[in-house]
Amino acid sequence: MSGPYADEPGDLIPRPAATFPALRTALARLDPSRLPEYQADRDQAFTLATRHASFHPIRVFLTKWATEIEIERRPAMAARYHAALDAANTLDGDDPAWRAAMDECLAIHNEARAAQVPPLSP
């Protein structure tokens, strides 16, 4: 499924639909080591949805994984994200560069989330 931003030539895979099977297939291609995390999150989302009689946990799950996959399928975005995340995890919280790294992580997540069609919001 394409979004408001066209797939770019360097994208590793096309943007998947925000469905359980499409996201799982995309994750299996991009980072199969994260499949157990995906399954555990999915199980937790269904448990919470059942417990609270709400689809909200399922929307949160879909938003999280569609965003993660959007970042990883776009190499330039993934490189920016991982560099910012590494900085955020290694710098001291009092260092102004730490705040810049955190802001970059948030900006990348917002950009990836905005690329979803229809836009997903938890």
pLDDT digit string (tens) for the chain, length 122 residues: 344 445 667 899 999 999 999 999 999 999 999 999 999 999 999 999 999 999 999 999 999 999 999 999 999 999 999 999 999 999 998 999 999 999 999 999 999 999 886 656 55
pLDDT at 7: 62
pTM of the model: 0.85
pLDDT at 2: 40
pLDDT at 119: 56
**Three-state DSSP state, 7:** coil
User: Which residues, 6+ apart, have CB-to-CB distance to 67 below 8 Å?
Assistant: 109, 112, 113, 116, 120
pLDDT at 116: 80
